[in-house]
Chains A and B, each alone.
Chain A
């Protein structure tokens, strides 16, 4: 039964890609928005999670406003998927600057442009992080980590579609320490998303004032390799138009207190992500259970 469902999903995905490759970008975006609205209407639990998260983060104070942002957020992610898949045929090394405005701190840009110097770029499920990685790969190779999809057929299809020369995605189960270290050693960009619930292995760090279990590896990689770490994101400003923003790198001198050092760095990164989200809440993925288990605060 599961295999049948997977095969049906795969067939639907193949048809979706077939259609996407043949219709115009405006038509694809309009279709994506319609599908997002349908999904929003049908998927009550995710709708509820998104609204609760928006209210919890005090992004909205009324149910109707939270509902609007949650719906627009889903529309944004449908458009994100469409534009990411279309970007293969639109963005290239010769024209990407026509589509992207760079707003990058001079120190961070100097590191990105410096051959042989690795950097850890941290972002969240905000804006269009996939296009961000593609854009940056035109300057310096980018390596990211991806989670395998539950459906092995669509997983293989997406990986065939996503792989590019200078932007590589490693499955989470293959992303061991040696792989991450070698990315930085080779002087590449290690792109990590920081806003997934990290379960009991994560560290509780405030996110919108509420402790959220946060992955410690970005901070630890910075502390043990001394590779600079910075926060960046790619905002969608119009159809296939983006603004890539990155702040100055964090260079944190280890104090010998691992918990304190890691917490300080993660707190700073979460704070940057919060600031970005507050300015454009519709471009954040609110339907993820970020505060799944309320961990105790670290004093």
Chain B
């Protein structure tokens, strides 16, 4: 999967789990994840969805350093075998 494809999938997953009203079409690589309406509970939902829908294995705490959608997509792209 390319990084762009991952971002598209992330947009869909985030739209499902976010607690806030966000203009998802405007979300891009620089969008801070913290601004997208995730609290500690919905972040756990999102990590589950990412692990299962993308079929990637990673340690959840590796995501702590990830701040933007672009960084998340790059991180996930790097986890592809």
- Which A residues are closer than 8 A to B by beta carbons? 175-178, 180-182, 184-185, 201, 216-217, 220-221, 223-225, 254, 256, 258, 261
Contacts and interface: CB of A to CB of B under 8 A. Distances in A.
B27 interface: no
B61 A217 contact: no
Contacts of A217: 40-41, 44
B40 A224 contact: no
Contact of A254 (B41, B43, B45, B51): B51
Given A224-B51, A254-B52, A175 B40 contact: yes
A284 B43 CA distance: 32
Name B's interface SS.
helix
> Top 8 closest A-B pairs, CB basis?
A220-B44, A181-B61, A178-B64, A224-B60, A256-B52, A177-B40, A224-B47, A185-B61
A185 B52 contact: no
A224 B62 CA distance: 12
A220 B64 contact: no
A177 B48 CA distance: 13
A185 B59 contact: yes
Interface string B35-59: 0000011011101110111000001
Contacts of B51: 224, 254
A180 B43 CA distance: 12
Given A175-B40, A177-B43, A201-B41, A220 B61 contact: no
Nearest to A198: B41
A182 B61 contact: yes
A178 B61 contact: yes
Given A181-B61, A185-B59, A221 B40 contact: no
A201 B44 CA distance: 13
Contacts of A258: 45, 48-49, 52
B52 A220 contact: no
A177 B52 contact: no
Nearest to A258: B48
Interface in B11-50: 40-41, 43-45, 47-49
B74 to A, nearest CB: 19
Nearest to B58: A224
Contacts of A182: 61, 64
